[in-house]
């Protein structure tokens, strides 16, 4: 491969890594109000970068939440247009004491860069920017037309970008989207992700007495919302991981026999996965489905936290007035968030124990997506990946969600190329998140070669 842009990327790599570290030092945690300013700072940093490398019309687009970052370069007459997407917001870093180096002080250790957001998604956003910088730096032009849109609310449901995509589709007119926010199936194995699960994230609140009560004086007469909540949760899903909400599975479309056959060819060792990735004594889930099916193509339900009541040191004999659970469901193709939420809400209201009131609230949601694989952009991607990684590309799905990808299809009519460079053990959303440094470098080269292939 003789690409001036790839040579440019290699020459400038140390500086590229410094630029990534600068972005990682900004704690742009989108869910925490105290980091609102940091989210804006991350957006402004990316904006300045896009301007510096020669992108045009660079600007922040204000939303009700954190700003979008937009830029374009539309001078490749007659060539396709790509919409480059990533997110600059990150998940909260806690639990802090489990980090070996502080989450917002990017640190290199054994070939990896450790920081919150290293791989999800700042490392991959910077890889995209650096691919553009290399192309513009080496050729003073891009091989195709490019629009860039970065959001700062992906980790909280992506409402701002969804609103923008729905209301201003013409501003993002393109032929396909390039999303770098996914992983390789295994180290060194070039991967395109062609499916994501959707989700609904909810809060379930149970209220009993009008105020907290002495559990000796009132225990036996006053309802306990935590116990009621436990009863409700126990009825959401059985011991086999089967969701008990009536009608919940009605719209599920299973993967095709062909797709399942390709999954069986993937290098996957269930016992290794149990030991090194999950680290539990046993895996759980619906019998009759492989781990890949269960995590990629079956809906699931999880409880994330049960705040409230007495959680201090020692003992307090109290019957709390209310209890809360954060509950989410992952959805698969053809299930809709609206219907899933409606079924869940009416079921919970029906099974609510006597003496308590329940309230079910939707926090955010996103659709599942499944990308068709027979298009020229997928073919260009596999050619580019083969050059850089020396191997044929595998097509996978992921159990995670990127809410806007479904909207790119629905509102903009764009197929998404999900070309990401994370690894299965990168600790996304967990302590000691990392990005493999080689994947950062080869990721930039892959993105460069991909855009060049599309422009050929």
* Positions in the binding site for Mn ion (CB under 5 A): 120-121, 181
| Stretch 108-147: interaction string toward ligand BES, x if CB under 6 A | ------------xx--------------------------
Going through 277-425 in order, the beta strands assigned E by DSSP cover: 300-305, 318-319, 322-331, 357-366, 369-370, 394-398, 416-418
Query: Which CB sits closer to ligand BES, 297 or 358?
Result: 297
Cβ atoms 345, 244 nearer than 8 A:
no
Query: Which CB sits closer to ligand BES, 41 or 326?
Result: 326
Interface with ligand BES, residue 155, by CB under 6 A? yes
Stretch that binds ligand BES, among 14-22, 181-189, 202-210, 434-442 (CB under 6 A): 181-189
Least separation, in Å, of the C-beta of 119 and ligand BES?
8
The residues facing 69 across adjacent strands are: 60, 150
> Of residues 398, 416, 427, 436, which one binds ligand BES by CB under 6 A?
398
Q: What strands lie across the sheet with 357-366, from one edge to the other?
A: 300-305, 322-331, 198-207, 357-366
| Number of other residues whose CB lies within 10 A of the CB of residue 287 | 8
Structure tokens belonging to residue 337: 């968030």
> Of residues 401, 436, 439, 446, which one binds ligand BES by CB under 6 A?
401
Q: Which among Mn ion, ligand BES, none contacts residue 106 (Cβ within 5 to 8 A by kind)? A: none
Interface with ligand BES, residue 428, by CB under 6 A? yes
Least separation, in Å, of the C-beta of 193 and ligand BES?
6
Picking from 277, 270, 266, the residue whose alpha carbon sits closest to that of residue 426 is 277
What's the CA gap between 336 and 368, in Å, rounded? Answer: 8
Of 38, 72, 89, 121, the active-site residue reads 89
> Of residues 19, 72, 151, 154, which one binds ligand BES by CB under 6 A?
154
Measure the CA angle with vertex 199, ends 196 and 202; round to 5°. Answer: 165
Told to judge if 89 belongs to the known catalytic residues of this protein, a careful annotator would answer yes
The residues facing 417 across adjacent strands are: 178
Cβ atoms 153, 24 nearer than 8 A:
no
Residues 348 to 387 in contact with ligand BES, rule: CB under 6 A: 364, 366
Cβ atoms 30, 151 nearer than 8 A:
no
Of 154, 175, 259, 453, the active-site residue reads 154
**Please, which residues have CB within 8 angstroms of residue 427's CB and are 6 or more apart in sequence?**
433, 434
Long-range contacts of 274-283, Cβ-Cβ distance < 8 Å, separation of 24 or more? 276/425, 277/424, 277/425
Query: Which CB sits closer to ligand BES, 309 or 366?
Result: 366
| Stretch 231-270: interaction string toward ligand BES, x if CB under 6 A | ----------------------------------------
> Of residues 182, 202, 382, 393, which one binds ligand BES by CB under 6 A?
182
Q: Which residues are catalytic?
A: 89, 154
Interface with ligand BES (CB under 6 A): 120-121, 154-155, 157, 181-183, 193, 199, 364, 366, 398, 400-403, 428
């Amino acid at each position: 491969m003789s690409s001036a842009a790839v040579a440019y990327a290699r020459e400038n790599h140390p500086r590229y890594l410094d630029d990534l570290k600068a972005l990682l030092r900004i704690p742009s945690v989108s869910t925490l109000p105290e980091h609102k300013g940091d989210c804006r700072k991350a957006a402004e940093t990316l904006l300045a970068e896009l301007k510096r490398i020669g992108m045009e019309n660079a600007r922040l687009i204000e939303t009700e939440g954190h700003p979008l970052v937009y830029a374009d370069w539309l001078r490749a007459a007659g060539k396709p247009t790509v919409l480059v997407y990533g997110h600059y917001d990150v998940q909260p870093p806690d639990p802090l004491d489990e980090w070996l180096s502080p989450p917002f002080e990017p640190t290199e250790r054994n070939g990896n860069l450790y920081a919150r957001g290293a791989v999800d998604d700042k490392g991959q956003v910077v890889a995209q920017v650096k691919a553009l910088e290399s192309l513009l730096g080496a050729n003073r032009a891009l091989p195709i037309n490019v629009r860039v849109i970065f959001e700062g609310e992906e980790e909280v449901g992506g409402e701002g970008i969804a609103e923008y995509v729905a209301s201003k589709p013409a501003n993002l007119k393109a032929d396909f989207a390039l999303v770098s926010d996914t992983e390789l199936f295994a180290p060194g194995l070039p991967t395109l992700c062609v499916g994501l699960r959707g989700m609904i994230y909810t809060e379930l609140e149970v209220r009993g007495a009008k105020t907290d009560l002495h559990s000796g004086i009132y225990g036996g007469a006053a309802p306990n919302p935590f116990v009621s909540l436990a009863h409700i949760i126990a009825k959401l899903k059985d011991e086999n991981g089967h969701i008990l909400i009536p009608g919940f599975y009605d719209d599920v479309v299973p993967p095709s026999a062909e797709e399942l056959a390709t999954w069986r060819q993937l290098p996957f060792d269930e016992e290794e996965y149990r030991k090194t990735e999950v680290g539990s004594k046993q895996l759980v889930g619906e019998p009759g489905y492989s781990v890949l099916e269960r995590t990629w193509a079956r809906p699931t339900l999880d409880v994330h936290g049960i705040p409230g009541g007495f959680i201090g040191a020692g003992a307090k004999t109290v019957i709390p007035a209310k209890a809360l659970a954060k509950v989410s469901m992952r959805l698969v193709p053809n299930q809709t968030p609206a219907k899933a939420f409606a079924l869940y809400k009416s079921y919970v209201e029906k099974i609510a124990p006597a003496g308590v009131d329940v309230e079910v609230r939707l926090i955010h949601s996103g659709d599942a997506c499944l990308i068709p694989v027979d298009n020229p952009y997928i073919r260009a991607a596999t050619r580019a990946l083969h050059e850089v990684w020396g191997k044929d590309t595998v097509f996978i799905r992921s159990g995670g969600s990127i809410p806007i990808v479904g909207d790119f299809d629905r509102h903009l009519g764009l197929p998404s190329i999900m070309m990401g460079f994370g690894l299965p053990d990168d600790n996304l959303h967990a302590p000691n998140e990392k990005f493999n440094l080689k994947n950062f470098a080869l990721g930039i080269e892959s993105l460069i070669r991909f855009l060049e292939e599309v422009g050929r």
